[in-house]
Structure 1
Amino acid sequence: MILFFGTRFGKTVQLPLPHTTCSHCKQLGTLTISKTSNWFHLFWIRIFKISTRMVAECSHCKRVYFEEEFTDEMKQNLIQIQA
């Protein structure tokens, strides 16, 4: 019997943060969160989510923030958007 399994990234979801200030360039409303999940596959069917990665990017200065670098303002606004 042949068994096909592995991992693959899912679709990337982009969420704008309209009321958040970029801590690098101090511009308001220029941040966008990109959220990507990594899935375990069995016969090309998603079975369960392994991990999720979030990255924020400023459209003005192009600064990228990894999830560990999110400010408290970013975290609170992200919670409000997802709720």
Structure 2
Amino acid sequence: MKNSSFVVMILFFGTRSGKKQTKTLSNVSCPHCSQTGTLTAITQPNYVHLFWIPIFKLKTSQFAECSHCKRGFYKEEFTSEMERAL
């Protein structure tokens, strides 16, 4: 009879969102409805993780929303005024 043994190792890896940060952009007007002080910017990093431990930051997503007209803006749509306020 032959004795054989083998080891199976399972790795859990993938991507996961980090802690979301919000910031009110006061003194900045909405490009859509022109209301001032109604924009909120949301920044959220995404990490590569191994066994649910973040290893390194993959990218950071940014988004802004106007509380008056509910219009959303991606990072590529930010005005220079919005960029300065961040």
TM-score (norm 2): 0.87
Q: 2:23 aligns with which of 15, 21, 27?
A: 15
Residue 84 of structure 2: aligned partner:
76
How many residues are matched?
78
Residue of structure 2 in register with 1:6 after alignment: 14
Instruction: Give the distance between the partners of 1:29 and 1:3, measured in 2 at CA.
Output: 47
Using the alignment, how far apart are the partners of 2:34 and 2:75 within structure 1? Answer: 19
Point out 4+ residue stretches in structure 1 off by more than 6 angstroms: none
Determine what percentage of the aligned residue pairs are the same residue.
56
Structure 1 spans left out of the alignment, 5+ residues: 79-83
Q: Provide the rounded CA distance (Å) in 2 between the counterparts of 1:2 and 1:56.
A: 39
| CA-CA distance at 1:2 after TM superposition | 1.7
RMSD: 0.7
Give the TM-score normalised by the residue count of structure 1. 0.90
Structure of larger gyration radius: 2
